[in-house]
């Protein structure tokens, strides 16, 4: 396809066009008891955003999988500082050992309580996305390309639908 400088590009949700939409995988383990921060990784592979594009708006939309318990929580959202982050694996500390994160972050404090089925949208994440798509290793749409967000939160959990659940998956 051809690109036009300054053109607006649309990205599609799974409901709009499953073949053209980005995908997201959420992988995390909830410790039995802990007082430390939790990290959750969200990976969107093969996003067809040309390198150097200016992102005017980017948000992640979550659908609550369960009603959250009592307690406020705080999230800090960053992305892996590469256009080719490694796939996540079910190994200890696989997410927390990833230290190359964007300098841009977004803090949500407090993250509101969730009711099962409700939709929660993050504030604008465009500064984070712009930082990644400006990288020399970003090649929008390639098989090795992905945008991986890492969300660090405290001990009050929010459970969201995943792509594998078949409905209500997080969307970028």
Cβ atoms of residues 77 and 149 within 8 Å: yes
- List Cβ neighbours of 89 (8 Å cut-off, separation of 6 or more): none
CA distance 140 to 58: 16
pLDDT of residue 40: 87
- Of 45, 40, 126, give the one whose Cα is nearest residue 86: 45
Tokens (6 digits) for 132: 């990644």
pLDDT of residue 150: 94
Cβ atoms of residues 111 and 71 within 8 Å: no
- For 146, which DSSP code? E
Q: Which residue has the tokens 């007082």?
A: 35
Tokens (6 digits) for 161: 């639908």
Q: Kind of pairing, strands 61-63 and 73-79? A: unpaired
- For 165, which DSSP code? G
DSSP-H helix ranges across the chain: 126-133
Q: Which pLDDT tens digits describe the chain residue by residue (172 residues)?
A: 334 444 444 444 444 555 544 444 343 444 455 556 788 888 888 888 899 899 999 999 888 888 887 777 889 999 999 999 998 888 888 898 998 999 999 999 988 888 888 888 999 999 999 999 999 999 877 777 889 999 998 866 777 776 555 555 566 6
């Amino acid at each position: 396809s051809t690109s036009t400088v300054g053109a607006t590009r649309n990205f599609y949700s799974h409901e709009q066009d499953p073949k053209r939409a980005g995908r997201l995988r959420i992988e995390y383990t909830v410790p039995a008891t802990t007082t430390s921060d939790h990290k959750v990784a969200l990976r969107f592979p093969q996003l067809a955003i040309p390198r150097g594009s200016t992102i005017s708006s980017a948000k992640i939309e979550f659908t609550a999988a369960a009603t959250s318990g009592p307690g406020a929580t705080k999230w800090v959202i960053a992305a892996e500082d590469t256009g080719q982050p490694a796939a996540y694996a079910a190994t200890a500390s696989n997410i927390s050992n990833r230290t190359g994160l964007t300098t841009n972050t977004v803090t949500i404090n407090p993250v509101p309580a969730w009711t099962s089925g409700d939709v929660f949208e993050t504030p604008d994440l465009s500064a984070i996305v712009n930082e990644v798509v400006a990288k020399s290793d970003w090649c929008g749409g390639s098989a090795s390309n992905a945008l991986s967000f890492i969300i660090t939160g405290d001990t009050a959990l929010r459970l969201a639908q995943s792509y594998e659940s078949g409905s209500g998956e997080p969307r970028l």
